[in-house]
Amino acid sequence: MLIAAEDKAFVDLDKERDILALQNEGHSFSAGPRVTGIVNAGALPLGAMTIGGCMESFDDLLKEIEVHLKCNEGRNRPLQILKAVNTVLFKKKGFIRSNPFGNPQSSYLDQIFIRGSGTGVSLPPLLSLVLFCVIL
């Protein structure tokens, strides 16, 4: 999530440099609002949500998985962890794999949290990250 914010910062920096270069060449362009000072990464937009909103959704998923594991007392067993993650993501939350040729929005992290569906390329990294966080 922070990588997306970093990418946006580089794009904004490049945009500002391009505008300055055009102004030096005699063209008239507005640089738009300039971000100064420390930026709260959680408040940065990430599609239809903010980075903070995506992180909250992710934290909520982890909490539900932890509750499911505590109820089933399977904290240290890899198979129990995988079953708990699958139960929460796919049965309780209703996450599904969407058609990769349908809506391109299904590849974006914010849309996965909003719609509960993602492509076969976008869901595995989310699943891997959830498993990594649960195991730690």
Cα separation, 121 vs 98, whole angstroms: 10
The SS3 of residue 96 is strand
pTM of the predicted structure, to 2 decimals: 0.62
User: In terms of domains, do 93 and 114 share one?
Assistant: yes
Domain total in the chain: 2
User: In terms of domains, do 8 and 66 share one?
Assistant: no
User: In terms of domains, do 24 and 84 share one?
Assistant: no
User: Do 85 and 130 form a contact (C-beta atoms < 8 A)?
Assistant: yes
Rounded to whole angstroms, what are the CA distances from 107 to 6, 19, 63, 81, 100? 19, 31, 24, 25, 8
User: In terms of domains, do 62 and 8 share one?
Assistant: no
pLDDT per residue as tens, the chain (136 positions): 545 555 566 566 666 666 666 666 664 545 455 545 556 667 777 777 888 888 888 899 999 988 888 887 755 688 888 888 889 988 998 888 887 777 777 788 788 888 888 888 888 888 888 888 888 7
The pLDDT of residue 31 is 47
User: In terms of domains, do 15 and 74 share one?
Assistant: no
The pLDDT of residue 113 is 83
The pLDDT of residue 117 is 86
User: In terms of domains, do 66 and 102 share one?
Assistant: yes
The pLDDT of residue 29 is 45
User: In terms of domains, do 53 and 22 share one?
Assistant: no
User: In terms of domains, do 111 and 94 share one?
Assistant: yes
